[in-house]
Structure 1
Amino acid sequence: LGTKWPEFKGTEMMDLLEYVKANAKGEKEIAYITPGNPREGKKVFIEKACIRCHAIRGEGGKEAEDLGKRAKAFYKSLTQIASSMWNKGPTVLAKMSQTQMGIPKFTPKEMGDLIAYLYFLHFIDEPGNPVNGKKEFSELGCSKCHGFYEKQGELMIVALSKYQKATNSMEIVAGMWNHSTEIEKAMREYKIPWPRFKKRELPDLLEFIRTPKKK
């Protein structure tokens, strides 16, 4: 048709959708949007082959930009994220049309889940450094009470082996919180100062705890 691919800025897509809704014929009814599931969105990202071109913090293809490194760009409204995807349309469609899989089709649920996944990338920490975490485990005083595989800490035995190979760091964080009263009591008893974490220390510490160790 010789028409230039339209690009959306700011709230333009939202405004366009509101215009379509306002001028649509038929009986009006309220449409409730079911929030997308970011965990399912990650599966969609893989199954629809997005990951073949786009990496998420180094994991995935190298042909297009790493979406994990620009996660803040997706910390927007649903229509703003959809606008970002739409604006890349010509490039994405040209690339995917050349693949064996071709251009993928999405159900409304799949698209909602995918957008939720992109939105929540902003809340996912970059992987920690277990080498730094090992150092912090000692310097922050964790090693005074905690060991691995029933190895004693300096003051008592509280093994952390169950958290090795934990699929989710939040498993460890939940454990820390649930035992916070016991931890606080032990620290007062042994006169250990309450540790305070700086920017990257907690992700590094969690990665160290999760990393398998020799018995």
Structure 2
Amino acid sequence: MIDDVGARLGEFEDRRKIADLILDYCRGVDRCDDALLRSTYWPDAVDDHGAGDRPAMAFCDRVLPTLREHCLATMHLVANSRVTLHGDRAFAETYVVGRHYLGSARSLEVFVGSAAAEAILGAFPAPTRDAPFEYHAGGRYLDRIERRDGEWRFSHRRLVFDWTEAHPASPALLVDIGRTPGRRDPSDASYALFASSGPGGAR
């Protein structure tokens, strides 16, 4: 009985760590936190964001500079997540909606390719190409996760797309509404919050 309770508690703790890992990835991307993003992958991990398998560290090298250059803000929202555990390996399917607020419609091709971008932008008046634009995608992360020395990280992450949406941004996007703004660096209010929780609170 005691061994059974211990095993169940161990599984609960593993699932909690994997849930935190999935959230840390989203936070790393949305806050453009390079160290946090890299900490979610093993150094030899592979990432496939729709263009085939590539080294995950190369993905990290590329993605945050791209987001800083082309996006005013991003938000990755995760929902349903199914995780199966097999010793030091885990497999997860997690639903995600990625919202991308582009500084200009001309940046759309960075995310969908030039042919798709031209097809999408052709449905809107030409002046919209220099105005902020929204690109959103719904999909699922298909993850292989490994535990090494007690730590869980992605060994292979694949993103499959279920739908995409793109249109001119609401004028409200650029309006200062007098509220605390989110930031994509350590000046974001969340860093002070977690730092105040003590050692290990901030990541």
Normalised by the size of structure 2, how large is the TM-score? 0.23
Larger Rg: 1
Normalised by the size of structure 1, how large is the TM-score? 0.22
* Bigger helix share: 1
